Chain A
Amino acid sequence: MDFDKVEESNLDRQYYFFDQIGRLKVNALRENIHKIDPSIKVEAINLKLKSGSMEEPFKEVDVVIEALDNAETKASFIEEILLKLPGKPLIAASGVAGYGGAERIKTLRMGNLLYLCSDDEAPSSDEDVLVAPRVALMANWEANLAIEILLGEKYD
């Protein structure tokens, strides 16, 4: 789910190509996934989350994975999912900006259902660069947790 269009500044760390600039991210990404394997089922939703109803699109999913950019939106999203969808596993990330420091990334488990991939010494993206290696590390850290949750290995 996304509402954005592909911009040139995304290409250094997000999985789009130069000739996709200007296209809706969800459509471009679905196309790229289908280039890898046309049989993969992708439900691409072009939608901007609205404060107060952020949980709406995620009622039926098995795991929610947060990949927002702005800290305030991240915090509101986490708050709304945990309060309105009790019982829904949520994976979120904080501390994606900058480079290096991979060994500081850890999973904080807050309660039964919130898994926060966190680097609490990382700078905010307002004060440091966003580059592919750290963004990919965090994204894969989240995906790795999702597999554990989906396979039932993360529940007590």
Chain B
Amino acid sequence: MIEINGRKIEWKKGETIQDLLRRTNLNYPIVIVKIDGKMIPKDRFSEVYIRDNSSIDVVPIVSGG
């Protein structure tokens, strides 16, 4: 099991951050992703595999100011 934004979901072997964002419909154009409190740069979303029991925070960022 993994936890994404406080919700528990099934862990899938060989799933990258990019795959996970797509599976959970969190694939907004611009997001901040932290895994177990560690910031993941966006250029690594397609290379970093999700480990079982990870806790993932995903927050969309939109323009304005």
Check: A120 CB closer than 8 A to any chain B CB. Answer: yes
For A108, list chain B residues within 8 Å (CB).
Answer: 57, 59
Number of A-B residue pairs having CB atoms within 8 Å of each other in the complex: 81
Contact B62 A110 (CB under 8 A): no
Q: How far is the CB of A125 from chain B (nearest CB, A)?
A: 4
Q: Name B39's contact: one of A82, A97, A124, A130 (CB within 8 Å).
A: A82
Q: Are A79 and B39 in contact (CB under 8 A)?
A: yes
Q: Which A residue's beta carbon lies closest to that of B40?
A: A79
Residues of B within 8 A of A82 (CB): 39
Q: Contact: A110 with B63, CB < 8 Å?
A: no
Give Cα A122 to B31, complex, Å: 14
Cβ distance A24 to chain B, nearest Cβ, rounded Å = 18
Q: Counting CB contacts under 8 A, is B64 at the interface? A: yes
Interface membership of chain A positions 115-133, coded 1 if the CB is closer than 8 angstroms to chain B and 0 otherwise: 0101010111110001000
Complex Cα gap A116–B60 (Å): 11
From 57 to 102 in chain A, residues with beta carbon under 8 angstroms from any chain B beta carbon are: 67-72, 74-75, 78-79, 82-83, 93-98
Q: Which of B31-65 contact A (CB under 8 A)?
A: 31-32, 34, 37-39, 41-42, 57, 59-65
Q: For chain B, give the interface size range.
A: 10 to 19
Q: Which residue of the partner chain B has the closest CB to A72?
A: B30
- Pairwise interchain contact A124-B32, C-beta atoms closer than 8 A: no
Q: Is there an interface contact between B32 and A79, defined as CB atoms closer than 8 Å?
A: yes
B63 close to A125 (CB less than 8 A): yes
Q: How far is the CB of B44 from chain A (nearest CB, A)?
A: 10
Given that A110-B34, A111-B37 are contacting pairs, would A71 and B57 also be in contact in the complex, using a CB cutoff of 8 Å? no
Chain B residues with CB under 8 Å of A69's CB are 63-65
Set A78, A124, A135: member contacting B63, Cβ < 8 A: A124
Q: How far is the CA of A145 from the CA of B64 in the complex (A)?
A: 19
Which residue of the partner chain A has the closest CB to B62? Answer: A124
Contact pick for A122, options B30, B39, B41, B62, CB 8 Å: B62
Binding site for A on B (CB under 8 A): 29-32, 34, 37-39, 41-42, 57, 59-65
